Structure 1
Amino acid sequence: MQGNSKDLVGTTLGTCTLEKLIGKGGMGAVYLAHQQRPARQVAVKVLHSYLGGNDGELSQEFLARFRREADVVARLEHMNIMPLYEYGEQDGLAYLVMPYLTGGSLSERLKQQGSLPLSDAVSYMDQAASALDYAHAQGVIHRDLKPANFLLHADGRLVLTDFGIARLINDAAPGTTLTRTGVTLGTPDYMAPEMALGEAIDYRADIYELGVVLYTLLSGHVPFTGSSSLAVITRHLRETLPLLHQTRPEIPPGVDAVIQKATAKDRTQRYSSVRDMARALHAAIEQPNSYQAQREEAIPTVVRPAIAPTILSNTPHSGIGTYDATPTTQAQAMTYEPPTMRSSETPAFLPPPPPYTPQKQSAWWRIPLIVICAVALVLTGVITGTQLFKNSAVTSVTATPNTQPTQTSGSNKTPTVAPTATSNAKPTTAPTQPPSPATGNVPTGQLLYSATNPGPACDTGSGTWVIYNSANVNCQSNGTQVTNTATARTLQGIFLTALPGKNYPNDYVLEANVQQSQNSNSSFGLYFRNQPGNQQGTYTFLIEPDGSWQAAVYDNTTGVPKVISQGTFGDIHATIKLAVVVKGSQFNFYANGKALGSVSDATYAGGTAGLAVDQGGTITVSNFALYATA
């Protein structure tokens, strides 16, 4: 094999001529190259020659593993994972051909800006979580997450690179563990403790490293430094990461709680998936004052033994990731069973909240307060009596919704406009309830399923999605775009029709972030309790073009809707977290955590959930979640 120090500029590997050295790492060098067929600029990563050893037989074994691992990486098709155009071996060199991205890396951005804004870091974490969840579901783990491996596409999208063949270092020769001469698997600044200790590695090593990456993006520096790799990794084994909000007060303490849990020394105390970590990060930002909840999610400090001096070399190097399918020994097998993550121990890294001390006040205010309460009680009685009288006179609700379903041949429900809304069903209706201060947050139980990007091909989980009524669905970096292409007033959308490994519950809490495109003005929102097969029954919770909201039930035979609850809303083009709590015959509707209203209707006892958009509308949907009811 050729020496790894040789400058390969001008060398032709396959159809690629290497033009410029653009990067070096512990596993190889990256060149800007010109590919002849098809003609384009590409990036070519050439693996260091020592990875194959000096023994001819060992080199053949290395190349066989290289082909196997590269085949696996080539099958990873995700918008946030660097695709592999081709790979090969020539003149004793193994190489990979990938797209050449011009947007730089997060490492370069940190050098230019220092720390990143919290909103940017969260966006990158969402995209990284989507990529890693997909890879983990395929049995692939990375093992070398760091800002330098997060590249930026010209369109601003995050692209995770260096998946696939770092395990070749471990497997290159009998008896090797974490390192060979001058080679480190992973980067000490970000390395999970179990990697340094030579333990079996699974997807939770990626969760640890992603937590360190998040810390680095928000602080502008790695959490631990030292005179050598040994000193750095020893601190990873024994110390918890510093708290960001102590030096950056604008960072919510809950963000620190997320980082601490992700980087727990004991891997069983980390999040059960990177998706759960991303969800917790959003919750920490959206509810920055829920201090007690942050403490409950925190994990205790776990001190690991000091690392043996022979484990690491003194020079940190870069890897390309790893694939852990078809392990040859039990120690290499990837265990993908989510552990129980919550600890009952008191966390050591967050101080207790300060005690509440009420201020002393004089008693002058008591008299006007009593008067106000008395007036409020009288008004409440009058209003309640009036409302009861109105309800006794109402025999059915005949409001006409903006969107109504009718059946087309061979399709499921096709909501369209009808002049009058009458239903064969006889729901029990209740008046819209005003928002209550006690319902500022949506009550949820255990998470049943979630998707950062919902919909067929976009969701990286194992849920079953279907496109309803020919909607146009596009997977994007910030969510799933759903466009209604109908030429008449007809609802289209997507449905989550099955959950992985569990039955669909009758009662659930449905939640999703939805934003309508600025150039569309249509109804959009949530489906719930959709009836199976060609039946036309369903419920909808829609935001209307006039800034109101309404809930409707659709007749199972005729597809004609009936409005069962409605009210005012607001800006129809803002990002809205819509939620509906479906429990028995009672439905409660929320927007951005605020209660909009509730209604009782017993038409359908169960059914699936989805997302809806009316004619001409385009919505972007993210963070779809289905919970058990509280």
Structure 2
Amino acid sequence: MIIWQPGQQINNGRFIIQGKPLGSGGFGTTYKALEPSRGKLYAIKTLNQQMQLQEDFAEQQVKFINEALTIKGFDHQHILKVHEVIQAGELFGVVMEYIDGVTLFQYLRQKGQLTESEALLYIDQIGQALEYIHAKGSLHRDIKPANILLRQNKQEAVLIDFGLTRSIATKSMTASLTEGYAPIEQYRRKGSFGPHTDVYALAATLYYLLTADGLNKEGEFSPVPAQNRKYDDEPLPAPRHYNSRISQRVNDAILAGMEIEPENRTQTVLKFRENLGLVVQQPINFDIQQPINVETFHGTSLQTSNMDYRKLRDYLAQGKWKEADVETARVMLAVAKREEEGWLNIKDIDNFPCEDLRTIDQLWVKYSGGKFGFSVQKRIYQSFGGTRQYNREINKKFGDKVGWRKGEDWLYYKNITFDKKAPEGHLPNGNMIYASSVCFNKGWWLGFLLSRRDL
């Protein structure tokens, strides 16, 4: 049995283990490790002590590595980044991004249940990550507060622990689960598995985020397990039973997402997010490998208001972010018939066609993996309490969050980062089409636009 100790060098001295393990679950143990040559910290996960004692340990390590390689292919801001697989003696380790933060479970134990707006912010982020995973043909199967990390000093959630991840096409899966968050089909090796399986766990997670104080007072630490509901007729109290401040819409969306029978449950994460009021746009397919018809974009014409968006689509598909930003400005000015002026005034913004705005937004969201787009900016802006009304402090917070400010100064266009490594919501920047003579603050321009639109 192998347990790495603080100060131990592994992988021929490449990494040095730092302190006690970060955590241990049903399958793995995660260590914090330093790579001295780069001065960088990583998280390295191995199979835990119990798994090492199994007779089929070698077989389990092969599965462990294969699963890690699958996750390595995921590239999404709200999914833990896997870098590589290493070997130290008989033990393999998965080298991952190290996140300095706490899990949502720890966060709630310290703070108590969340407000609806903050809870929805994190659920929306993890929901987008799940849509990406499902489009890649996989299920996470272990969504819960303890498997969601919050980056320190940021309202940014990251999905972790892919130990139970399986292909959606798999007909038989291990009956591993977390009570209270796993749907009824996960209690069986064979069941009706699909995106709805993760919907249940995501809805249960939101249930907990909004009702933790009430659950803890009654001696519960998670929603009623699906098996108890199915076979013991134990009812699941509506979220509002524990927290009367929850809106009826969110209350109903949670219950629909936690329906016992898979066929009665909300079928996709996108639909769940729509039910929560987080999206009202046409469904987006996040599988960026799937070819798109030249003339259409998932049911939305690429030619609306006599405007052709195919060039914008092509720039985004190729990762040419600056060219796409310039093209976004061009088409918006063209739609508003303001090419000659080179900027939009309040009336132009107020009357900008919704279909065109949504088409532009959907293209940005799709090709950035949910990182860029007007709807992403809207969510961030509203998370600070932003509305149509000008608020200097909110605008500054928004600018800091999306990386449009440095210190106390707003960045010039030449200093904008045209790279996917840029902060969430950094693009499209639209700096060229702000009505500077009318709207003296770009945050106010954005707030005016976003508060008027259902994206």
The answer, yes or no, to whether TM exceeds 0.5 is yes
Structure 2 equivalent of residue 249 of structure 1: 244
SS at match of 1:101: coil
CA contact (8 A) 1:211 1:259 kept: yes
Residue 291 of structure 2 corresponds to residue 278 of structure 1: no
Describe how 1:134-149 pairs up with structure 2 within 5 A: 134-149=132-147
Structure 1 equivalent of residue 262 of structure 2: 267
Backbone CA RMSD of aligned residues: 4.5
| One-letter code aligned to 2:202 | L
SS at match of 1:483: coil
CA contact (8 A) 1:141 1:203 kept: yes
Structure 1 equivalent of residue 178 of structure 2: 187
Residue 201 of structure 2 corresponds to residue 203 of structure 1: no
Seen in structure 2, the aligned counterparts of structure 1 residues 241 and 24 have a Cα distance that, compared at 3 Å, is: same
Residue 228 of structure 2 corresponds to residue 235 of structure 1: yes
CA contact (8 A) 1:66 1:165 kept: no
Structure 1 equivalent of residue 340 of structure 2: 418
Once the 2 structures are TM-superposed, how far is the Cα of residue 221 of structure 1 from its aligned partner?
Answer: 5.6
CA contact (8 A) 1:73 1:164 kept: no
Once the 2 structures are TM-superposed, how far is the Cα of residue 202 of structure 1 from its aligned partner?
Answer: 2.5
Seen in structure 2, the aligned counterparts of structure 1 residues 451 and 212 have a Cα distance that, compared at 3 Å, is: farther
Once the 2 structures are TM-superposed, how far is the Cα of residue 40 of structure 1 from its aligned partner?
Answer: 1.3
Structure 1 equivalent of residue 17 of structure 2: 18
CA contact (8 A) 1:27 1:47 kept: yes
Once the 2 structures are TM-superposed, how far is the Cα of residue 481 of structure 1 from its aligned partner?
Answer: 2.7
Structure 2 equivalent of residue 156 of structure 1: 155
CA contact (8 A) 1:143 1:186 kept: yes
Seen in structure 2, the aligned counterparts of structure 1 residues 483 and 472 have a Cα distance that, compared at 3 Å, is: farther
CA contact (8 A) 1:454 1:480 kept: no
Once the 2 structures are TM-superposed, how far is the Cα of residue 156 of structure 1 from its aligned partner?
Answer: 3.1
Identity %: 23
Structure 2 equivalent of residue 8 of structure 1: 5
Deviations 1:191-225 (A, max 9, x none): 11111133333222111000110011011169699
Counterpart among 197, 208, 212 of residue 216 in structure 1: 208
CA contact (8 A) 2:196 2:262 kept: yes
CA contact (8 A) 2:139 2:166 kept: no
SS at match of 1:76: coil
Describe how 1:446-465 pairs up with structure 2 within 5 A: 451=362, 454=365, 456-459=367-370
Q: Which segment is superposed worse, 210-219 or 28-37?
A: 28-37
SS at match of 2:30: strand
Structure 1 equivalent of residue 283 of structure 2: none
Structure 2 equivalent of residue 46 of structure 1: 46
CA distance in 1, matches of 2:126, 2:162: 13
Seen in structure 2, the aligned counterparts of structure 1 residues 242 and 165 have a Cα distance that, compared at 3 Å, is: closer
Seen in structure 2, the aligned counterparts of structure 1 residues 194 and 221 have a Cα distance that, compared at 3 Å, is: farther
Seen in structure 2, the aligned counterparts of structure 1 residues 455 and 26 have a Cα distance that, compared at 3 Å, is: closer
CA distance in 2, matches of 1:234, 1:257: 21
CA contact (8 A) 2:173 2:190 kept: no
SS at match of 2:162: coil
Structure 2 equivalent of residue 482 of structure 1: 428
CA contact (8 A) 1:63 1:94 kept: yes
SS at match of 1:282: coil
SS at match of 1:98: strand
**Stretches of structure 1 lacking an aligned partner (at least 5 in a row):** 179-184, 287-407, 420-442, 462-469, 492-519, 524-543, 548-570, 579-590, 593-622, 625-630
Q: Which segment is superposed worse, 275-284 or 140-149?
A: 275-284
CA contact (8 A) 1:258 1:277 kept: yes
Once the 2 structures are TM-superposed, how far is the Cα of residue 186 of structure 1 from its aligned partner?
Answer: 2.4
Structure 1 equivalent of residue 411 of structure 2: none
CA contact (8 A) 2:141 2:164 kept: no
CA distance in 2, matches of 1:223, 1:261: 20
Seen in structure 2, the aligned counterparts of structure 1 residues 162 and 262 have a Cα distance that, compared at 3 Å, is: same
| One-letter code aligned to 1:99 | E
Seen in structure 2, the aligned counterparts of structure 1 residues 46 and 455 have a Cα distance that, compared at 3 Å, is: closer
CA contact (8 A) 1:275 1:452 kept: no
Counterpart among 416, 438, 447 of residue 574 in structure 1: 447
Higher relative contact order (CA 8 A, sep 6+): 1
| One-letter code aligned to 2:228 | R
CA distance in 1, matches of 2:219, 2:364: 40
Deviations 1:322-361 (A, max 9, x none): xxxxxxxxxxxxxxxxxxxxxxxxxxxxxxxxxxxxxxxx
CA distance in 1, matches of 2:173, 2:419: 45
Once the 2 structures are TM-superposed, how far is the Cα of residue 115 of structure 1 from its aligned partner?
Answer: 0.3
Counterpart among 98, 101, 108 of residue 103 in structure 1: 101
Structure 2 equivalent of residue 464 of structure 1: none
Seen in structure 2, the aligned counterparts of structure 1 residues 226 and 26 have a Cα distance that, compared at 3 Å, is: farther
Structure 2 equivalent of residue 29 of structure 1: 29
Deviations 1:79-137 (A, max 9, x none): 11000122233333232222222221211110111101111001101101111101110
Seen in structure 2, the aligned counterparts of structure 1 residues 167 and 485 have a Cα distance that, compared at 3 Å, is: closer
Describe how 1:253-402 pairs up with structure 2 within 5 A: 253-282=248-277
Structure whose alpha-carbon radius of gyration is higher? 1
SS at match of 1:189: coil
Seen in structure 2, the aligned counterparts of structure 1 residues 67 and 28 have a Cα distance that, compared at 3 Å, is: closer
CA distance in 1, matches of 2:70, 2:108: 31
| One-letter code aligned to 2:102 | G
Structure 2 equivalent of residue 307 of structure 1: none
CA distance in 2, matches of 1:50, 1:12: 23
CA contact (8 A) 2:34 2:41 kept: yes
Paired residues, number: 338
CA contact (8 A) 1:226 1:232 kept: no
SS at match of 1:265: coil
CA distance in 2, matches of 1:222, 1:63: 41
Once the 2 structures are TM-superposed, how far is the Cα of residue 575 of structure 1 from its aligned partner?
Answer: 5.8
Seen in structure 2, the aligned counterparts of structure 1 residues 472 and 575 have a Cα distance that, compared at 3 Å, is: farther
| One-letter code aligned to 2:142 | D
CA distance in 2, matches of 1:124, 1:252: 17
CA contact (8 A) 1:116 1:217 kept: yes
Q: Which segment is superposed worse, 451-460 or 62-71?
A: 451-460
TM-score, normalised by the number of residues in structure 2: 0.62
Describe how 1:551-566 pairs up with structure 2 within 5 A: none
CA distance in 1, matches of 2:439, 2:449: 14
Describe how 1:45-124 pairs up with structure 2 within 5 A: 45-51=45-51, 54-55=54-55, 58-124=56-122
CA contact (8 A) 1:134 1:460 kept: no
Once the 2 structures are TM-superposed, how far is the Cα of residue 460 of structure 1 from its aligned partner?
Answer: 8.6
